[in-house]
Homo-oligomer: A and B are copies of this chain.
Amino acid sequence: METITQMEKMFAPTSVAIIGASGREGSIGYSLVMNLVSGGFKGDVFPINPRYDSVYDLKCYDSITNLPIVPDLTLLAVPANVSNDTIKQACEHGCRMFINIASGFAEVGRRDLEWDMKDILEKYGARMLGPNVFGVYSAKASMNATFGPSVVKPGNVGLISQSGALGVALMGKTVTEGIGLSAVVSLGNKADISECEALEYLGNDDITEVIFLYLEGSKDGRRLMDIAKKVSMKKPIIAIKSGSSARGALAAASHTGSLAGSDKIFSAALEQAGILRALNLEDGFGWLRAMAEVPIPSMDGAVIVTNGGGIGVISSDSAERYGVRLMDDTKMLEELFRPTMPSYGSTKNPIDITGQGKNKEYEMALDIALEDDRIPAIVGLYCQTATGDPTEIADAAISSIRKAKKKKPIVFSMVGGKGIAESIARLNMAGIPSYASPDGAMSAMGALYKRFRRLKVKSEEPEEFDMDIEKIKGIVKKTWDTGMSSLTEDDCNLILREAGLSFPKSEIAKDLKEAKKVANEIGYPVVMKILSPDILHKTEFGGVRLDLEDDEELEVAYESIMASVRNRFEKARVNGVLITEMVKDCTEMILGFSQDPSFGPVIMFGMGGIYVEILQDVAFRVAPVSKLEITGMIQEISSYPILAGARGKNLRDIEALADAVSRISYLSTHVPEIVELDINPLMAMDQGKGCLVVDSRMTIRGEVK
């Protein structure tokens, strides 16, 4: 809450100073003053620049030190090389909130300047947005503290952009598209304030109802998630996270200096946090329009109303693609809509009132769809006919929606030539989200349904387990202290046993004789595996022998392994072999985690064996994960039907798998000293028979505070 109070100084200041204000029209220092004044900011504006007496008809001060008061917010429009001195001077004067417009910092390799900047700010307990930003707009203060567009339409959309140029362009786009803004925040290099503070503030801001976020990377993904989780329960967050391709990540790095990280993990994290991720600007903006204007549907079963069969068919395809389930109570639809169309029209959803349907029939069909309680959502499509006037259809739709007593989600698309663009604009200005392409309309409806489904999910705490964390940390520390960064097989097993995972029957044997004895106790067939702290990829070099059927096979395998070690790893320490029961009739899975630099522990679960790397049939989640999230994770992989007993296969112990994931999640968050864990394979046995760890690897690090 303290942060939010401090952030109020940025979004609702009573006074703003502009260091580097300028009298030169077209300059940044001029635009900032002009936008503040002409935008109707009600507080005091203090231009500061020793070279001017007045800027934009306001008295201009020669230095912040001569200002009669301490401004709530200080904008910095001075060159990078004097930036830090200026900040220091302003802090001495008492300033505590800055927006640093200047560029020439990390994005051109001068990270050092930002480190110094951060030191100064910390010393004074001050906060700063930027550098390399175009400013902040805040509707509640009528404050346009940007050098962006001077005309802004106030509204309910909060816009946060890591890219300055894109932010300015999108600000402009909202004006021509009739989308109202509650706030705009340019993130730039994020030397101090990041998307986290901006999101938290807008999440608590009364007039912001939808948030649009453009990100190229996040330094603290974990914090972003925690904030987004809370905010997304209250209002939709739409994000574009670029840099998903290798080339894009490179471009992002040279743009705002972001490290893009793994896109798969970022994607999972955004989803877990309830953020709707758009893959392109068009979708993002299209969803934004819908979220800003119409409510979330109350249930599945959207209805398409169209005057053209072709776009109806196209939209049925896209409904499936975007997860919009269409109403299929054909009897009810026939009763409701037959009166709106000629005999050759179709009531089968798409409701096709045909090209004969003019504005009267269109309005009639919409009236019915809007009033009937069994219809939760409407996609209106219009295909321009030779004689019909699209603006009349638009007006009919507007009239229909204005007189409707129920407020339902509705989106529109109109296809054609003359008058179409105007009709779409007219619908949009009337608050009915409308799109040039039927696909765009359906994509927006899909986003509304995605949010509908998200809000239905109950939030659930991750499970707690009774693991001896101190003991596990002790095992890790012991190895780390010897200078090793990976655990031996038996240390891995010790930890996983402590975490509550199950193993095939198994025993260590020091030599061949003992190996035979153990194998006979366990019962053939068995697996033999070399025990050595120095050999990591045991399978690849032949250090694992499967399906040994009797003493004779065991002996051959033993000699061969030992010969191989002597040949290839002359100096490897060998602690004997591990004899294990041979696990058959099961499905090979993989389970593990790694510590992501931005998100912390990230769990991976999927199909095991060579398929992991080739088919990449794995799901990721940022830990900790609740049981509900784990179920989603298991069902997400393409090979889930194999676990669920498809094609006459046995049903596997999915419950045991879920339990294993939950335990690994707990381990990953409680023992951050384990940097990476791979259980591969984790054998999924038949239902009721559990799942067994067959091989695992752990890499570790020193103590994490």
Interface, chain A (partner B; CB < 8 A): 26, 31, 103-104, 107-108, 134, 146-151, 161-177, 214, 216, 240, 242-248, 250-252, 254-256, 279-282, 307-314, 316-321, 326, 343-344, 346, 348, 350, 352, 354-355, 383-387, 415-418, 420-421, 436-440, 540, 610-611, 613-615, 617, 638-639, 641-642, 646-649
Contact = CB atoms under 8 A, between A and B. Distances in A.
Contact of A165 (B280, B311, B639): B311
Contacts of A279: 439
Nearest to A177: B417
Given A168-B384, A310-B255, A174 B417 contact: yes
What 8 A-B pairs are tightest by C-beta distance, nearest first? Answer: A163-B310, A172-B417, A165-B308, A166-B310, A255-B309, A245-B320, A280-B439, A248-B317
B415 A319 contact: no
B165 A355 contact: yes
B164 A420 contact: no
Contact of A638 (B344, B437, B614): B614
Given A172-B418, A176-B421, 17 more contacts: A31-B386, A31-B387, A165-B310, A166-B310, A166-B311, A168-B384, A168-B386, A176-B417, A176-B418, A242-B313, A243-B316, A247-B317, A251-B309, A254-B346, A281-B415, A614-B639, A614-B641
Contacts of A348: 250-251, 254
Given A639-B615, A646-B610, A647-B614, A282 B440 contact: yes
B282 A316 contact: no
A311 B321 CA distance: 26
Nearest to A306: B165
A216 to B, nearest CB: 6
Contacts of A614: 638-639, 641-642, 646-647
Contacts of A437: 280-282
A439 B281 contact: yes
Nearest to A246: B320
A415 B166 contact: yes
Contacts of A168: 355, 383-386, 416
A456 to B, nearest CB: 23
A316 B165 contact: no
Contacts of A248: 313-314, 316-317, 320
Contacts of A346: 251, 254-255
A423 B427 CA distance: 23
23 contacts: A31-B386, A108-B343, A146-B386, A163-B310, A164-B310, A166-B314, A169-B311, A169-B383, A169-B415, A175-B417, A176-B421, A242-B313, A243-B313, A245-B320, A247-B317, A248-B313, A248-B316, A252-B313, A255-B352, A280-B314, A280-B439, A610-B646, A614-B647
Contacts of A107: 344
Give the most central of A307, A416, A540: most B CB within 10 Å.
Answer: A416
A173 B421 CA distance: 10
B420 A163 contact: no
Contacts of A280: 314, 318, 437-439
